Structure formats: structure tokens, C-alpha cells
Amino acid sequence: MVELGPGPGALTQVLIERYGTENFSCIEIDQRAVQVLNERHPTLDVIHSDVLQVDYPTLQSSLSPNSPLAVIGNLPYYITSQILFALADASHSTAVRTATVTMQLEVGQRLVASTSTKAYGILSVAFQIYADTRLHFKIPNTVFYPKPKVESCLVGMSFVGEDELRRRLDGVRPSDLRRVVQMSFQQRRKTLRSSLRRILMEVHNGDKNKVNDIVTGGRKVEVPAGVKARAEGGDKFAIQQELPEEWGSMRPEELKPMQFIELTRLIYGEEEDKENYELGVKVWRKLKHGKG
């Protein structure tokens, strides 16, 4: 188990009382907090580092080589999304399997948001593909000191893992998916036909006829054999994966997370070896964060 940003250790104390320190590590950037933790808990493994710069696959192989990491922590509001994206990248190699974290309520609501809602966006799409995500309960601001201006919540995430993620993507590259999702929601009030035209022009070397053919539904969107087989087998994720023919006239918040996978396949294509292709080391997190 790894606690992110324990500070002086209020939550850490509770966790140690319950689980001990043998299989428990903390990552803390503040040197003063590190010193306090070391003094209070001499047997605790305290890693002096920035949670955004940590190489989680390497950390997992060092701390827990036989099982994925379980992450816990009170996430700083101003970097919550970037921490979550770092964990998503780590799940490409199944370095992280679960995360139980507190965060700003607004961010938690984005993670579990349904289509056609104001909260639905990039976080919703990514984490409904990558994980089983649940907002367990709200936390009033009165329980924190100093009291923040916003409410918080406890969120639990169980990442699907490398193999299941490959099955869901079925040859689609995560880096391509990220670009399509980000470009779509950067102009969320525009139709997908408009917001994705630049990507389509780049991919198809400026061929306007080909681009128009794609966005007007002239190119039939076939359901891949692997996705079709999973849907016929009752897989709830695959059942909802087919891309609507009228996708070009839709806005991004109308498209389900699994349909973004098929939209990405339509634009960028897919890997031939769907069972063994590289998912990537750094896809969702910023280039300046971590290795890769």
C-alpha cells in the first residue's frame, strides 16, 4: 500500500494502527513532513519525492513485485487530475490496481458523470474505460482544518488492468484515444464534425473529400470482430461500444466512453497485433511529469 502526500501523517497514523508498516510506504514532497514522519514512525518507508514525478511501475517492482500497488491518500485539489492521469498510465503495466482517495467533490463527480451532463468530460471518458470508478460518499468541508471552501468526496477506483484494457481498446492506441478525447472536449459546444476536422485533415494528408466522406457517415463504421464477440457474450462494455452513424452531428458529451474508442479507430486505425501491442508509458500525464 502506498499513501500519496501524507503531510504530517494524520491518515498515516490510522493506517499504521490497522495495517502496520511492513507493506506500507508513503510519498511526500515536503522535507519537514518527511522528518516528522520519520520521527513518529521509524519503521515506516517514507519516500521523499513528488507524486507527479514518481515512476509507478518501477516503484511497484521495488515495493511489491508480486502484486500491483494499492494507492490511498487525500489528493491536493490543485493537482488531482494530474495524479489521476499518472495512475491511469501506471495501470498500462498493471503497476497500480486500486486507488482509494479523497478529492474535491466536483472532480469526483466528473469521474462518474453520465453522458449529456455538464460534468461529463475527459476524466469521465478516461476513467470509465480504465477503471470501475465509484463515488462512495460526500465529505463536508467542516471536517478539515483549515476548512476549504469546497466539499470533498471519497472515490474508489479499481483499474481493469493491462489485459482487460487491451481487450476494451481492441487495437486502438491509448495515445490516439487521448488526442481524440482532448480535441473533442476542447470545443465541447461544437459538433464532433467540427472539433475533429483538424485531426482528420492531418491523418488524411489534407484530403477534404476523404474527410467529408468520414464525417458525413459515408464510411460505414464496422464493429470489430473482437468487440462484436464480446458483446454477443454479454460484455456490458462491448455492448455499448458501437459508434452511431450520425456521430459527426453529435457533441462530445453525447458520446459514451466506449464509443470514443470506435471513433478513434475510425480516425487513426488500429494495431494489427491486438493482444501484445504497447499501451505506452506516458500517455495521459503531462510530458513534464515522470519518466517515459
Strands across the sheet containing 69-74:
45-48, 25-28, 2-4, 69-74, 96-104, 152-159, 131-139
The answer to whether the annotation marks 74 as part of a ligand binding site is: yes
Cα separation values, 148 from 9, 141, 144, 174, 195, Å? 19, 6, 7, 35, 36
- Contact status, residue 83 vs residue 52, Cβ threshold 8 Å: yes
The answer to whether the annotation marks 1 as part of a ligand binding site is: yes
DSSP string, 174-193: HHHHHHHHHHHHHTTTS-HH
Q: How far apart are CA 32 and CA 91, in angstroms?
A: 31
Q: How far apart are CA 41 and CA 242, in angstroms?
A: 53
Take residue 237 and report the three cell numbers written for it.
462494455
Length of the chain: 292
Spacing of C-alpha 255 from chain mean position: 17
The answer to whether the annotation marks 132 as part of a ligand binding site is: no
Cα separation values, 23 from 1, 43, 45, 135, 190, Å? 6, 11, 9, 26, 49
Take residue 189 and report the three cell numbers written for it.
459546444
Residues of the binding site: 1, 5, 28, 50, 74
Annotated binding site for S-adenosyl-L-methionine: 1, 5, 28, 50, 74
